[in-house]
């Protein structure tokens, strides 16, 4: 759980370097094409599992859940998409249900209102609202409301950590997440987010004394931007400091986008970690 040796302290970086150090789209060549490929494949998966799409959990347009059913009375993995809380949509990520559903794990993909139309406080509240709705609906959908694990990628990794406290969530699987929002507040990303120091701190798991006493698996790619690798390593150390259940792993050679292959594949490392979380929380 040591901090990557090549990770600089963001406080000593120039604005330009800090912005570049958080910009995954620029850092990964061909990232736009990768995401376009995700969207095409996700449309195919949605067409195959069209029975429970766009379940409305709240009043706003993006307050919707896609439920991909793999097994009657099976466990459910919640997946929260990324995009720095201000881009992308659940429909882009349906293909990543394929790894878990191959093992009889249902997948619920959450949508949420994006900044600047919602503050980060409101986005976190929407995720909790969605979890309330899902837990209530799972018996009718054919799932087991007592077996929910929450997961997410990038900004969704942050929202995973913020959802771990929900009473129906048994464990978390956070992929390439953000756990200290202060670097975000001091970057180009805050133009739409509009974080002040108080909102940043109350939504930063790294700023909290302790946390939910539930298993949390943290993964990041070894080829990701150093600031993001540092976020995950530091948060793993933070949880360990407070005696909270945590595992930390770097996926060898993976960048911020290719890491998601490990969830799309039934044999992928992240899929395996998800299965282990369900086994542990049983």
Cis amide bond preceding 116, omega within 30: yes
To the nearest whole number, what is the mean pLDDT of the chain?
96
Tokens at 77, concatenated: 């993995």
3-state secondary structure of 247: strand
Q: Taken in order 77, 173, 145, 56, is the CA torsion positive or negative?
A: negative
Q: Render pLDDT for 206-223 as a digit per residue (tens, 0 to 9).
A: 999 999 999 999 999 999
CA distance 5 to 230: 9
As a whole-number percent, the residues of the chain with pLDDT over 90 amount to 95
With bands split at pLDDT 50, 70 and 90, how would you rate the model's confidence at 67? very high
Residues 111-139 as b or e (16 or more Cβ within 10 Å = b): bbbbbeebbbeebbbbbbbbbebbbebbe
Averaged pLDDT, 168-194: 97
Residue 203 CB contacts under 8 Å (≥ 6 apart), including other chains: 120, 121, 124, 158, 162, 181, 195
pLDDT of 256: 97
Residue 1 has pLDDT above 60, yes or no: no
Q: Render pLDDT for 144-176 as a digit per residue (tens, 0 to 9).
A: 999 999 999 999 999 999 999 999 999 999 999
Tokens at 65, concatenated: 């859940």
pLDDT of 282: 82
Residues composing the chain: 282
């Amino acid at each position: 759980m040591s901090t990557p040796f090549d990770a600089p302290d963001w406080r000593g970086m120039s604005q330009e370097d800090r912005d570049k150090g958080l910009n995954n789209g620029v850092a990964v060549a061909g990232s736009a094409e990768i995401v376009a490929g995700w969207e095409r494949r996700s449309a195919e998966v949605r067409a195959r599992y069209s029975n429970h799409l766009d379940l409305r959990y709240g009043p706003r347009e993006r307050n919707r859940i896609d439920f991909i059913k793999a097994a009657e009375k099976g466990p459910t993995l919640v997946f929260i998409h990324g995009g720095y809380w201000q881009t992308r949509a659940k429909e882009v990520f349906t293909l990543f249900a394929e790894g878990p559903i191959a093992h009889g794990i249902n997948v619920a993909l959450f949508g949420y209102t994006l900044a600047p139309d919602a503050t980060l406080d409101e986005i976190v509240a929407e995720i909790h609202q969605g979890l309330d709705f899902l837990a209530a609906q799972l018996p009718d959908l054919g799932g087991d409301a007592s077996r929910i694990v929450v997961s997410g990628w990038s900004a969704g990794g942050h929202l995973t950590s913020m959802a771990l406290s929900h009473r129906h969530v048994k464990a978390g699987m956070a992929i390439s997440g953000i756990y200290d929002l202060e670097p975000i507040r001091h970057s180009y990303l805050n133009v739409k987010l509009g974080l002040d120091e108080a909102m940043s701190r109350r939504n930063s798991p790294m700023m909290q004394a302790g946390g939910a006493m539930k298993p949390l698996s943290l993964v990041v790619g070894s080829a990701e931007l150093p600031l993001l690798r540092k976020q995950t390593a530091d948060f793993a150390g933070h949880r360990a400091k407070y005696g909270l259940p945590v595992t930390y792993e770097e996926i060898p050679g993976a960048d911020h986008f290719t890491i998601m292959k490990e969830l799309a594949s039934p044999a992928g490392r992240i899929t395996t970690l998800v299965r282990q979380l369900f086994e542990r929380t049983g």
